[in-house]
Amino acid sequence: MKYFFLFIMIGVVLPMSAQPIKMDLWPEGVPNTLINEIEEGVRENNGVVTHVSDVSNPTLTIYKAEVEDGAKSPAVVICPGGGYVNLSIEKEGHDVAKFLAKNGITGVVLKYRLPNDEMQKNKTIAPLQDARKAITTIKNMAVELNIFPGMIGVMGFSAGGHLAATASTHFDTDNYSLKEIRPDFSVLIYPVASMKPGVTHMGSHDRLLGEDPDEAIEIQYSNELQINKNTPPTFMVHSFDDGSVPIANSLRYVERLSELGIECETHFYKSGGHGYGMLPGHTDTWPGLLVKWIKTLY
Domain that holds residue 105: 18-295
Residue 4 lies in a domain: no
2 occurs within a structural domain: no
Residue 70's pLDDT is 85
Write the CB contacts of 202 (distance below 8 Å, at least 6 apart in sequence): none
What pLDDT was estimated at residue 41?
A: 97
The CATH number that applies at residue 191 is 3.40.50.1820
In the chain, % of residues over pLDDT 70 = 93
Q: Is residue 96 part of a domain?
A: yes
Please count the structural domains in the chain: 1
- Please indicate, yes or no, if residue 207 is contained in any of the structural domains: yes
Residue 188 covered by a domain: yes
pLDDT digits (tens, 9 = 90+) for 234-263: 999 999 999 999 999 999 999 999 999 999
Q: Considering the domain boundaries, does residue 151 fall inside one?
A: yes
Residue 105 lies in a domain: yes
Distance CA 298, CA 74 (A): 9
The whole-model pTM stands at 0.93
**pLDDT, tens only, 13-28:** 334 557 999 999 999 9
Spatial distance between the Cα atoms of 92 and 43, rounded to a whole number of angstroms: 14
Encode pLDDT of 177-220 as tens digits.
888 899 999 999 999 999 999 999 999 999 999 999 999 999 99
Q: 12: pLDDT confidence band, cut at 50, 70 and 90?
A: very low
